[in-house]
Amino acid sequence: MDAVLIIQSLISGIMMGMVYALLGVGFSLTWGVMHVINISHGAFGLLGAYMAYSLLQYFGVDPIVSAAVSVPLLFLVACGIYQLLIRPITRAQNVVMASMILTFGLAIILENVMAIIWKADPRVLTPTYSSGALILGPFYFQYPHVVGFGLSLAGITAIYLFLKKTYTGMAVRAAWQQPEAARLYGVNLYWISMITFALAVSTAGAGGICLALLNSFEPHSHNLWLINLFLVVIVGGVGNVIGTALAGLIIGVITGLSMAFLPFLWVNLVTFGLLMIFLIFRPHGIFKQEGI
């Protein structure tokens, strides 16, 4: 095998993995903190991607610039969805199950709305720099991939700093680890849940934009994204941000390598096979539960 090709696909894998990591962190947080498994997480990512697509297509706004608008917008939308749909079901007996059913419905609605607005054809984000590439010696990286990677790295760093350095971020972790004690020390769980949910949805939007810089997408793409999210979160450990980020990288590398060396149809087989193996042997992930 060709060493250049191996390293090339390894680095491409890391780039893609970072995007999965960004998408996965939010998915993991709502799961860990609120016991809400948000099946519509990928669909919100896709919504971010479509918003970037339209803003680029009709107004010529670069995806990075439009993200500065669409990500905060998604945050607000998510606050509304939390109040309207999620908050009522957190009183259910079995929040996990209720949340899965509810957000599954939400994902289908979003998918159909996107199919109506943007049609079922595959789309690609083609910013001005899309034909350019970063050439480093024998290696070759398309600019959109580099930008997607950079944006997701920035997103993950921002989430990490939020959770680690701000009072609200610490309250999110506290509410996940020990909700009763968090309440006793002044944390309003509803408020924190809303922030968590909105943060997750808006970072999903950012992740969706990054993913759209790497691959083409269509209204049902979120289903495939979702399976990858499950894989990332299960490998990384629910609620473990650093674990999730690392798991994203690992899965990116595995996907990258199998894309380079296996027939295309095999790629999903490898990732889903991996998901099964993990569920059987390491249902709590490969990292210790401690972390952030």
Partner 1 sequence: MLSVENITVCYGQMKALREVSLEVSTGQMVALIGANGSGKSTLINAISGLVPIAGGEITWEGQTLKGLTPDNICREGIIQVPEGRKLFPAMTVEENLIMGAYHPNVRKQAQESLQKVFSTFPRIADRRRQFAGSLSGGEQQMVALGRALMAKPRLLMLDEPSLGLSPKAAAEIFDIIRGLNKEGMTILLVSQEVMQTLAITTYGYVLENGVLALKDSCDRLLEDPKVKTSYLGL
CB of 290 to partner 1, least distance (A): 5
- Residue among 7, 117, 181, 276 that touches partner 1 (CB under 8 A): 181
- Residue among 135, 263, 265, 290 that touches partner 1 (CB under 8 A): 290
Burial letters 240-267, b for 16+ CB under 10 A, else e: bbbbbbbbbbbbbbbbbbbbbeeeeeeb
Binding residues for partner 1 restricted to 185-214, rule: CB under 8 A:
185-188
Q: Which of 125, 110, 73, 86 is nearest to 223 (CA)?
A: 110
Q: Which is nearer to partner 1, 51 or 192 (by Cβ)?
A: 192
**Size, binding site for partner 1 by CB under 8 A:** 20
H/E segment holding residue 51: helix 41-59
Judge whether 20 and 232 are in contact, CB under 8 Å.
Answer: yes
Q: Which is nearer to partner 1, 94 or 178 (by Cβ)?
A: 178
Q: Which of 207, 145, 154 is nearest to 12 (CA)?
A: 145
**With binding defined as CB under 8 A, does residue 87 bind partner 1?**
no
**With binding defined as CB under 8 A, does residue 245 bind partner 1?**
no
**Site mask for partner 1 (CB under 8 A), range 149-178, x = bound:** ------------------x--xx-xx--xx
* Integer Cα distance of 242 and 247 in angstroms: 8
Q: Which of 34, 20, 50, 24 is nearest to 100 (CA)?
A: 34
**With binding defined as CB under 8 A, does residue 183 bind partner 1?**
yes
Judge whether 24 and 229 are in contact, CB under 8 Å.
Answer: yes
Judged by the rule CB under 8 A, the positions of this chain that interact with partner 1 are: 167, 170-171, 173-174, 177-178, 180-188, 289-292
